[in-house]
Amino acid sequence: MDFYGINPAVLIASLMVASVPIMLAAIGELVVEKAGVLNLGVEGMMIMGAICGFITAVHSGSPMLGFLGGAAGGAVLSVLFILLTQVFLANQVATGLALTLFGLGLSSLLGQGYNGIKPPATKPLPFGPLTDIPFFGRILFSHDAMVYISIAVIAAVWAMLKYTRAGLILRAVGESHDAAHALGYKVVRIRVLAILFGGAMAGLGGAYVSLVRVPQWTDGITAGAGWIALAIVVFASWKPWRVLIGAYLFGGITVLQLNLQASNSFPIKIPVEYLAMSPYLITILVLVIMSSGRGRASLNAPAALGQNFHASR
């Protein structure tokens, strides 16, 4: 049951894989923004994760160590953001943009000599006969561990924000840091932890790009996935499960356009350039729609988002 040479089961299975990097980066950024910090350096942290994960995996031969290395790489770069915005109270938007530029340059430097090398393969989890179930086996039981881990992270973040005291305090800090401080919560400490988590998740997403999605190293390998992740957080109006939906939507568009490019039997011929730019166009469109007027989305944004905190009073 193919449509113009596109198999729906394969399409869904591959969109699940394609959306892992942006989903991980977006859920990390969601936690950061819920704490009231706007880190626009997601792209930079992702690509640092991509190269650090790649180097670790190539030298250790273990994809799992590679993912850990990627998370560490993203987190280390986020320390720079912490130092600048939480200690020296620099402007968060400018710092985030600088972080992206710095990450792109540094990853390119670190990646010298790694071009053209194949990383160790990441194997799908062994589900045995389950994989052979028609249609659903291909969609649900044919993936590597990271696909399932990324969904688990979404569930964990959702449960933490909704049901735990830690989540309540995190939301409170993002809502009004002055009030949280007055009640005796350590605003900066909580934000530092959130930023580190966001960095690690972005790095993990980046490592998935260089170890599974592509899988090799080239400069600028993340190709704007960090920006799409930022857009997804707004699109999801800061709700974890909507991040999953948003990531699948964007992952789906990416995979679909690739399939359409490859499909010879599709009746309408669309130039490849338009297909390739479609995820980014839709990102812009979504952001414009979501931020126009006083919609629900703008009301749901953490009130202290992007504001620096200094305990002067």
Nearer to other proteins, 31 or 228 (CB): 31
Please state the closest distance from residue 173 (CB atom) to other proteins, in A: 9
Nearer to other proteins, 80 or 233 (CB): 233
Nearest to 250 by CA among 1, 18, 86: 18
Q: Which residues pair with 115 in a beta bridge?
A: 217
Nearer to other proteins, 268 or 299 (CB): 299
CA dist 92 and 107 (Å) reads 22
3-state helix, strand, coil in the chain (%, to 5): 70, 0, 30
Nearer to other proteins, 160 or 169 (CB): 169
Please state the closest distance from residue 277 (CB atom) to other proteins, in A: 35
Please state the closest distance from residue 164 (CB atom) to other proteins, in A: 11
Token digits of residue 8: 């729906």
Nearer to other proteins, 190 or 225 (CB): 190
**Furthest CA-CA distance within the chain:** 68
CA dist 45 and 33 (Å) reads 16
Q: What residues make contact with other proteins under the rule CB under 8 A?
A: 165, 168-169, 171-172, 175-176, 178-180, 182-185, 294, 299-300, 302-303
- Backbone phi, psi, residue 35, to 5°: -85, 0
CA atoms within 13 A on the CB side of 270: 16
Nearest to 234 by CA among 93, 44, 29: 29
Report the amino acid identity of residue 152.
A
Please state the closest distance from residue 175 (CB atom) to other proteins, in A: 4
Please state the closest distance from residue 307 (CB atom) to other proteins, in A: 13
Please state the closest distance from residue 97 (CB atom) to other proteins, in A: 22
Nearer to other proteins, 180 or 212 (CB): 180
CA atoms within 13 A on the CB side of 207: 35
